[in-house]
Amino acid sequence: MEKWNLYDREGNLTERIHTRGQPLPENYYHLVVHIWLIDSHGRHLIQKRAKSLKSQPGCWAFTGGSAIVGESSLQAVRRETMEELNLKLPFKDLCFQTRLWRQSHFLDIWSSPIDAVFPKGFEPTTEVEAVTFKSTDEILQMIDSQQFYSYPQDYLSLLHEKRKTINHQTNNE
């Protein structure tokens, strides 16, 4: 069974440990991480979740998951990327974007360039059946057509802001 550290409302680590699948104690939260893997054209690497998964089977989404006991946010994002995509991301390339507060967890969003570490072919894993590159606009269209996980508005606002930054960087190169 997957075990998580629990945090207080301010995001401070507590001494409590939680087993996934059990109800969270009131006023305690766990840590979830996402990573936006971005190529030199400003497109995101997105993944299609395996149909065998309990949560969101067959849905397109960003890479991520829950931090397990003893992991920092950075360690969790590297582990999740290895588990889901079989990619080992260099520490130096990982950029923390923000932390969002949710009803039951904190969501840390990271980004990283993907060109140097992404292989030409993708082998499916137990959690991911396919990957593809999509622009932010294409992802938003996928959300509208219910092909992509429907993230909350504050998440989408960050995605819009990141798109502006990516477009600016690409146009200046």
pLDDT digits (tens, 9 = 90+) for 81-95: 999 999 999 889 999
Is a pLDDT exceeding 90 seen at residue 159? no
* Tokens coding 102: 């949710």
153-172 and 136-144 helices, crossing angle to 10°: 150
3-state secondary structure of 95: strand
Residue identified by tokens 């894993």 is 125
The pLDDT-based confidence of 171 (bands split at 50, 70, 90) is: very low
E strand intervals along the chain = 3-7, 13-19, 30-38, 44-49, 60-61, 63-66, 95-101, 105-113, 128-134
Residue 170: pLDDT above 70?
A: no
Four-way CATH pick for 3-172: 3.40.50.300, 3.10.180.10, 3.90.79.10, 3.30.365.10: 3.90.79.10
Phi-psi group of 58: left, alpha or beta (phi > 0 → left; psi -120 to 50 → alpha; rest → beta)? left
**Nearest alpha carbon to residue 61 among 117, 142, 135, 122:** 142
- Per mean pLDDT, which range of 24-28, 74-78, 134-138, 161-165 is the poorest? 161-165
Percent of residues, the chain, with pLDDT higher than 90: 67
Per-residue burial over 95-125, b = 16 or more CB atoms within 10 Å of its CB, e = otherwise: eeeeebeeeebbbbbbbbbbeeebeeebeee
For the chain, give every domain's residue range.
3-172
Q: Strands of 87-149 (E only): list them.
A: 95-101, 105-113, 128-134
Tokens of 101: 């507060």
Residues linked to residue 36 through DSSP beta bridges, in sequence order: 111
What tokens does 22 get?
């059990």
Distance CA 50, CA 58 (A): 5
Over residues 7-66, the pLDDT tens digits come to 999 999 999 999 999 999 999 999 999 999 999 888 999 999 999 998 889 999 999 999
Looking at the predicted structure, is the pLDDT value of residue 164 above 70?
no
Percent share of the chain, pLDDT over 70: 92
